[in-house]
Structure formats: structure tokens, C-alpha cells
Structure 1
Amino acid sequence: MAEGLRGPGTDAGAAPLRLVQVGAGGMGRAWLKNLAASPDVRLVGLVDLDVGAARRAADEEGFPGLPVAASVDELTSCDEAEALVNVTVPVAHHTVTTAALLGGLPVLSEKPLAESVSEGLSMVAASEVAGRLLMVSQSRRYWRNLAALRRQVAQLGQVGAVSCEFFKAPRFGGFREEMAHPLLVDMAIHQLDLARDLIGSEPVSVYCDSFNPAWSWFGGDAAANAVFVFEDGARFSFTGSWCAPGLETSWNGRWRVSAEGGTALWDGDGEPVAEAADGSALPADVRDEPEQIAGSLAEFVSVVRGGGVPSGEVHANVLSLAMVEAATTSAAAGRRVTIAEVLETAYATAVADEKNEEVRARLLSWPSVHEVVGRR
């Protein structure tokens, strides 16, 4: 299971963790900048199907002369690697991550974990078979002001209701404007994942209504309203649009947490504010902590070196992906959808589609999918 999943060389030490990165596109370059800035890692190779793009990215982002290749198998320096960073497009996540895990490397992957929950469950099983860590970089969990909000919420007792408003008007072009549910699939996983983090419980069901405003430049539904029920009775409401010009929210959204002992508010960018039931203000305890990609990278290195279970570990993170899949299923079906039915359907598909016999055997060994995934 998640506990004890470590990589090679887990003893604490000063030597930087040797990494190979797969993916040299826009997000790949963002990761390269962070790897170059971190004294805790050393990049030993870069892989991309477009070797020329990999060469340019390496040279321009601070890694001149770095070995590059079109596949991990072709990268001779990969023998030096202690871990792999997967920054490929989502459709390639399952293939790249599974091969790395079964090859003995712990993996830090860009979100989403996979294109589907069934692929995600296969990756959970592969992580167990390999005994290696798979962590998803939910980089929006790593904000100093969000960490301050967490500390305020912890002082307010049981959470009853959390809401997030998300309104932006980006014009990406490309594949996002052709997706059936661009907001829910490509963006909302950040907010749904943060809801799990803040509530401290797991989702049970969702009712979601999605639509596309008449002026939308997206082909699919660019707006949605969803209400999730959690195991402890808390509710999370998400309302958002990707074609909402004017008075836009933060990319993190605008948050309200209503709890037994008071309320906390966060605009997604600045310091949060909180008030206890007696009217007293709870100060925002903002600390000097690494943010976004740098934050997830630092936690990954710490866990690979010293053990433990990080935020974004695959057994728990697959439920953030299940929230997205449940929301899109609900929107299409026009009914309440349970996380249990999403997991059960995905598990059956994962078993049926699995090509690796060891991974398939591990899937079949689970007492139930519900006992394996989720918060620990």
C-alpha cells in the first residue's frame, strides 16, 4: 500500500536526487526552470518524442549539454536516475508512469494522474507491485496563503460547508476548445482536489449541471455548478465558468469555509481571513514555504529520501480524478452520481483492460476498491 513506498537511496543525505524528466513542452519547460532552481535535485536526462524540442528546452532552460532522447530506453544516462518526473500529455501518463514504476523508479507526475479512473487504478496497482512511490503534483495545494488558510480552518472545528467560485475568460485555442467538458476536466480538478484537502474527508456523491453560455468560444460545456457530499456530511459547492469576462476570480478560485467554530475566507491570492464564533479574528500564519511546482518537488524529494506518504500520493489522489469523472457523468446523465459507482465501474474496466499480469493480479487481490483508495 502507500506506506513505505520509497525510491532508491532513501537514506537522508546531501547528494541531490538524480532525476530524468519526460516531456519538454510548455509545462515541461516550467518544470525545467524549477529543477534548475532546486539544489536538492540534479537532472540527468530529458526525454521527448520531439528530440529537437528537448534539445532546445534543455539548452534554453539552464541545462546545456544535457543528454536528450526520444524515449527513456534510448537515454543512456537514465541508468543514473533515481526518480522520474512525468510531464507528458495526459494520454501518455499511464504508459510512461507505469513503465517507470515497474522499472524501479519512483515517479512525480503532473496532474491529472491519468485520463480515466480506470487507468488511475491500474497505476495504483503498478505502484504496489513495484513498491515505488507515485505522487501526483497537485501544485495548487502549495501556496503559502493556502497553508495559512489550512491552519485557520484547523482551529475552527468540524467543517460543514465549503464553496468555491471560479470565473475566468481564457482563450487557449487548441484541444481545450474542442473538449466536451473543458472546465471540469482541464481545470476543476484543482478546486475539487483542494476541497478534499480542506474538508479532510472523502467525497460520496455529486450532482452536477454543466452548460455552455451562448457567447462561449468553447465547443463543449465551459460552465458548471456541482454539489458534492462528503463522508462526514460536509458539502462542497463549485460554480464556475471559463467564458466569464470581467471581474475575474483568481486561478485558485474564491473560497468560503463554514465550520463549527467560525468562518474562513480566501480570495485565492492574498492572505486569508477568518473569524471565530465569538467574533474574534484568527490571524493568518503565513510562513516561508516553497510554492506551486517547487512545493511539490520539495515534498517528493523529502519522501523519496526519508520515506512517508506525501500529499498527492496515488492511493488518495485517484479520488480527485474520480470527483471529476463523477461530475461529468452526472452532467451527462442529469442525475446524482456516487463515487462508489464510478470506482466500481472503473475497477471492472481496469481489470478487463490490464495487459500486465502482475498488475492485473494485484488488482484482483484487492478486497475491494473502496478499501484500497482514499485518504490515509
Structure 2
Amino acid sequence: MGKRAIVVGCGGMGRAWMKNVQDNPRCELVGVVDIRAEAAAQAAADHGLPATAAFTDVAKAIKALKPDFVCDITIPEAHCATTVAAHVLKVPTIGEKPLAHSMAAGRKMVAAAKKSRKLAMISQSRRYDQQHVGLRDAIASGVIGEVTTVNCDFYIGAHFGGFRDEMDSPLILDMAIHHFDLVRFFTGRDAKAVYCHEFNPKGSWYRGDVATSAIFEMDKGVVFTYRGSWCAEGGHTSWNGNWRVVGTQGTLLLENDKPAFGQRVKPGGKTGFHSEHEDIPIATPTVNGGGIAGSLNEFLDALEAGKRSASVPQCQLADNLKSLAMVFAAIRSSGSGRRVPVSL
């Protein structure tokens, strides 16, 4: 019998997590929670659970079902209350990004997890993509020397309809967290300051600012430039963004979800106006499941290892707060028209 799991939030993403839990032989879906009783009941029925496995309150579900962990797949505004409730009852949690709807809520979640001394992770599912892991490993190997510059371009004409069309900062709040977290994943550097300009281009079908340009100052002098839009018709990038990483001895590129590639200065090569370059072989590593499956497996690894493990799983709440801080610092910079610190 695997680890017993409750999924809180029965929308589309919640159902994706229910499927991943049921597909994983290391865990078992034992209950679902949603503030809409009919949604919880339907989700339970659709996933082969009895009616008694559907709840509208996470604390009541935990007390009745005694799960080994809780998946917090609620809307961002409900993440804090859901995760804190689980940790008050000393139950480990894994939640969807973003960590929270505000820095204050994120800090409260971190404090609750610290007090409970139970595992708490956020699923940043793009960290488990093979190409992303390959790029991270290539950077860490020093094949391009010391990283100096990282650029990410993200351009998609996304006609969602619904709540995103009415948000003040839809791109940064709902999407850029992926890219901001990835730059930390790729480089191992944290953001220190940012200058950001959000805007709503002519022809946009969004009410709020759906495009942005941002310059982040990262640790050890690395500069990260981000350009993005959700109302860019034609010439779409990958949803993961197109990336350029420049080092003191070469450059790595990751574009359109194809394998990463790059060039570096050839040792002993010709010199002149241009240095002689050579292609960089980049391995595509094996990952233990991609996307949600990857983050769930890492969570289960840590849960099963417990105090016996010396390794720290990715995206524990205190660490993921650093990615969330980039989001709110960018919005704060755009609102003030000034460079601002990225503070926790």
C-alpha cells in the first residue's frame, strides 16, 4: 500500500493531480476536498472513491482519512489557508505554484511548515523537463565558464477568456513564475534587484498589463533579462520560453523545446576578431518522470527517506519563496517606475 493522499481543489488542475496520484504505484488517492460540495462529490465518483471520501473542509478530511500527505491544488488565494491547516495537523504538503497570492501569505506558510517540522514543497513542474535538467547540468559543469548573462523570451498569443483577461498583471502573476523559477534552477543564483516595465500593447484583448520587460540583478553579477507577452500573435515561442545563457567561455541556447545546444571558445584555437569556436555536446539526462509526475516522485522520495536523507528536495517552501519574491518585486518595480530590491 502506498502513501495515502488527499487532493484539495477539484478543478482541472486538481483532477490532473488526482490522475498522477492514482497512476503512481507509490501512493493512493483516499480523498478529495473542494468548497463546492458537488465538485468534490463528482471528483470522488469520477476517480472511483466512495461518497464518504468527498469533503468541503480540509481539516475534517485529514481527521477522518488520516492521510500521509496533502496536495494543495486550490486557487492561489486559498493556498495559505489550506497548507497552514494541514501543517497545524502535522501533515506534509505538496502544492501547485504559485506558492501564495502574496508575500505575507507565503511567509505564513513557511512559518507553519517550520513549526510542524513536516515536509512542504511546491511543484515547479518545469524543473523536471529533460531539456531543462540537461541545460542546468551543462551550466553546472562549467563548460561555458562562469555565467554572466541569461536571457528569456516568451511570446504567446493566448486567448484564455475568463479571469486572466481581467487580471491586473496576468503574465507576471500567472505565468512568469515558471520562468523566474527556471533561471534560479538553471544557474543556482538568486535575484537581488529588478527593474520592470509592464504594459498592455495596442490590440490587446486583456484588461491588465499582459506584456513585460524586466532586468534582474542576480547573485555574483549575473544579469537576467526577461521579455514576455501573452498577446503576441505569430512566431510563438515555447511555453517554457526560449533561453540564452552566456558565460565567459561560451554560450548555451534552449529554443522551442528542442535539445539544448551551444558553442564555446576552442582550446588552442585561432584568435583574432572572432575566437575560434567549437560545438558543445550536451547530454539529455534521464528523469524520474516529467512535469507533475517528476515533482510528485521527488516529494515521495523525500517523504520516504525522512530524516535518513542528507539531500534536500527542490522547491521546499522557504526556497520557493525566493521565486515568488521575484514576481512581486517585478510588479512593485513596474508600479513605481524604479529599480527595487527583491526582498523576502
* TM-score by shorter chain over 0.5: yes
Tell me which residue corresponds to 1:23: 9
Equivalent residue in structure 1 for 2:50, among 56, 62, 65: 65
- 2:337 maps to 1:319: no
Tell me which residue corresponds to 2:301: 302
Tell me which residue corresponds to 1:239: 227
User: 1:17: Cα distance to partner?
Assistant: 1.4
Opposite residue 139 of structure 1, the aligned amino acid is: S
Contact 2:136 2:187 survives alignment (8 Å): no
Three-state SS of the structure 2 residue aligned to 1:63 is: coil
* 1:164-193 CA distance string (max 9 Å, x none): 000001111121111111101110010001
Opposite residue 236 of structure 2, the aligned amino acid is: E
Map 1:288-299; keep pairs closer than 5 Å: 288-289=286-287, 290-299=289-298
Tell me which residue corresponds to 2:108: 122
The number of equivalent residue pairs is 326
Query: Which is bigger in relative contact order (C-alpha 8 A, separation at least 6)?
Result: 1
Counterparts of 2:74 and 2:150, CA distance in 1: 32
Counterparts of 1:123 and 1:74, CA distance in 2: 20
Tell me which residue corresponds to 2:83: 97
Three-state SS of the structure 2 residue aligned to 1:115 is: coil
Contact 2:170 2:210 survives alignment (8 Å): yes
Counterparts of 2:262 and 2:118, CA distance in 1: 40
Opposite residue 201 of structure 2, the aligned amino acid is: P
Contact 1:86 1:109 survives alignment (8 Å): yes
Contact 2:212 2:229 survives alignment (8 Å): yes
Three-state SS of the structure 2 residue aligned to 1:188 is: helix
Three-state SS of the structure 2 residue aligned to 1:135 is: strand
User: 1:268: Cα distance to partner?
Assistant: 4.4
Task: Tell me the TM-score normalised to structure 1 length.
Answer: 0.84
Tell me which residue corresponds to 1:169: 157
Three-state SS of the structure 2 residue aligned to 1:165 is: strand
Tell me which residue corresponds to 1:37: 23
Counterparts of 1:228 and 1:268, CA distance in 2: 23
Tell me which residue corresponds to 2:240: 252
Contact 1:44 1:77 survives alignment (8 Å): no
Tell me which residue corresponds to 1:353: none
Three-state SS of the structure 2 residue aligned to 1:238 is: strand
* 1:354-374 CA distance string (max 9 Å, x none): xxxxxxxxxxxxxxxxxxxxx
User: 1:77: Cα distance to partner?
Assistant: 7.2
Tell me which residue corresponds to 2:284: 286
* 1:209-268 CA distance string (max 9 Å, x none): 110011001000010000000121001000010000101011100001111232111114
Three-state SS of the structure 2 residue aligned to 1:280 is: strand
* 1:339-365 CA distance string (max 9 Å, x none): 13xx3xxxxxxxxxxxxxxxxxxxxxx
Query: What percent of counterpart residues are identical?
Result: 41
Contact 1:18 1:83 survives alignment (8 Å): yes
Contact 1:164 1:253 survives alignment (8 Å): yes
- Structure 1: stretches of 5+ with no match in the other structure: 1-14, 344-376
* Root-mean-square deviation over aligned CA pairs: 1.5
Three-state SS of the structure 1 residue aligned to 2:99 is: coil
Counterparts of 2:290 and 2:8, CA distance in 1: 22
Mean alpha-carbon deviation: is it higher for 300-309 or for 77-86? 77-86
Contact 1:105 1:132 survives alignment (8 Å): yes
Tell me which residue corresponds to 1:88: 74
Task: Tell me the TM-score normalised to structure 2 length.
Answer: 0.91
Three-state SS of the structure 2 residue aligned to 1:205 is: strand
Tell me which residue corresponds to 1:198: 186
CA pair 32-97 structure 1, distance change in 2 beyond 3 A:
same
Map 1:337-356; keep pairs closer than 5 Å: 337-340=340-343, 343=344
Opposite residue 7 of structure 2, the aligned amino acid is: Q
Contact 1:107 1:133 survives alignment (8 Å): yes
Contact 2:125 2:292 survives alignment (8 Å): yes
Contact 1:207 1:336 survives alignment (8 Å): yes
CA pair 54-332 structure 1, distance change in 2 beyond 3 A:
same
